[in-house]
Amino acid sequence: MTTPELGLPMAVPAEGLPTRVRIHEVGARDGLQNEKATVPTETKAEFIRRLAAAGLGTIEATSFVHPTWVPQLADAERLFPLVRELGAGEPGSPSGTAAPHLPVLVPNERGLDRALALGATRVAVFASATESFAKANLNRTVDEALAMFEPVVARARAQGVHVRGYLSMCFGDPWEGPVPVPRVVRVCRALLDMGCDELSLGDTIGVATPGHVSALLTALDEQRVPTSSLGVHFHDTYGQALSNTLTALRHGVTTVDASAGGLGGCPFAKSATGNLATEDLVWMLTGLGIDTGVDLGLLVATSEWMAGQLGRPSPSRTVRALSHKE
């Protein structure tokens, strides 16, 4: 047990938890994609630079989707070159943290072409566990979407590019309701079999509870899906994101998606509210004695700055508490 620094919780380690967690920061892509007002490209670039300076080792930069799908991300070709040097071997911050990874989302082979042309070394594809969301998001069935991703993953891997497979609606779907665990396991297995390096299990509308999370992770383990290849991506719609994350950590998961300031939603699922706030996650992990490499003070300052750019306060409870704001 250690004495807390000013503004940080007391570190009290608990048994059965990892000693380090990798935070996959999604604020610049998932966090901003649903903003109605266009965020200037330079503001996005500065956001990413500040996140890197705060010690985030993985920062999802943008998405190479067609502009008509997600207009907020139509500037991918302009944005990525502005931040590419952060992940090119230079220190990520003045304090000397390692250069961050800068993955980008690619929906198809055309998106992959655009990303590779700009030097991206990490990409992600975005699948669905349910037919309704596959139709809404990609205008395809689940299996048609998987078939579309196969050449994307194969080409990326052939060029030495790391591939993440996002799987949305792992716990509940706004059209279909609760999602059966075996259905999620099937699509996870398909993504790994086609060559994805890691998977992100998405609670897109935030309906998961710890028991459901445990059941899914247990089923994946029984089907020999390695826990080391899994990340979790929880939305905080019902205030369950941290409890669900803690459950995943107890199952051995060490990669957690989060969004600075709690920004985010999903343009294709209107009931999806904000992501788990990175600050709230770091506060909990710090209190458990788990290393993240993140400077919470710099991260809070970054989210305060971004909130100012968006013209509204951050929904993160930790940002509000440490900023002395209601």
d(CA 313, CA 320): 8
* pLDDT score of 95: 42
d(CA 252, CA 91): 29
**pTM (2 d.p.):** 0.93
d(CA 72, CA 38): 6
> Quick one: tokens of 146?
């998987």
* pLDDT score of 1: 46
CB of 235 closer than 8 Å to CB of 273: yes
Question: For the chain, what is the domain count?
Answer: 1
Domain that holds residue 36: 22-322
Backbone angles phi, psi at 104, to 5 degrees: -135, 150
* pLDDT score of 271: 44
Q: Report the CATH number that the domain containing residue 47 is assigned in CATH.
A: 3.20.20.70
Q: Is the pLDDT of residue 6 over 60?
A: no
d(CA 246, CA 264): 21
pLDDT tens readout for residues 111-133: 999 999 999 999 999 999 999 99
| Other residues' Cβ atoms within 10 Å of the Cβ of residue 311 | 7
Quick one: residue 23, left, alpha or beta (phi over 0 = left, psi -120 to 50 = alpha)?
beta
The answer to whether position 225 is within a domain reads yes
Quick one: residue 16, left, alpha or beta (phi over 0 = left, psi -120 to 50 = alpha)?
left
Percent of the chain with pLDDT over 90: 84
Which range is least confidently modeled, 158-172, 265-279, 289-303? Answer: 265-279
d(CA 176, CA 37): 31
Q: How confident is the model at residue 69 (pLDDT cuts 50, 70, 90)?
A: confident
The answer to whether position 16 is within a domain reads no
The answer to whether position 82 is within a domain reads yes
Q: Does 170 qualify as catalytic in the annotation?
A: no
pLDDT tens readout for residues 14-66: 999 999 999 999 999 999 998 989 999 999 999 999 999 999 999 999 999 98
The answer to whether position 288 is within a domain reads yes
* pLDDT score of 269: 46
Backbone angles phi, psi at 203, to 5 degrees: -100, 75
The answer to whether position 14 is within a domain reads no
> Quick one: tokens of 272?
């999806």
Which range is least confidently modeled, 43-57, 91-105, 140-154, 168-182? Answer: 91-105
Cα torsion 294, 34, 323, 308: sign: positive
The answer to whether position 252 is within a domain reads yes
The answer to whether position 61 is within a domain reads yes
Dihedral in degrees, nearest 10, Cα atoms 222, 223, 226, 231: -90
pLDDT tens readout for residues 221-246: 999 999 999 999 999 999 999 999 99
Residue among 170, 188, 196, 266 flagged as catalytic: 266
Mean pLDDT within 172-183? 96
> Quick one: tokens of 72?
């907020």
* pLDDT score of 272: 45
Dihedral in degrees, nearest 10, Cα atoms 64, 254, 231, 44: -30
d(CA 208, CA 230): 17
* pLDDT score of 137: 84
Can you tell me whether residue 30 is helix, strand or coil?
helix
> Quick one: tokens of 309?
């750019």
The answer to whether position 8 is within a domain reads no
Q: Is the pLDDT of residue 93 over 70?
A: no
Q: How confident is the model at residue 68 (pLDDT cuts 50, 70, 90)?
A: confident
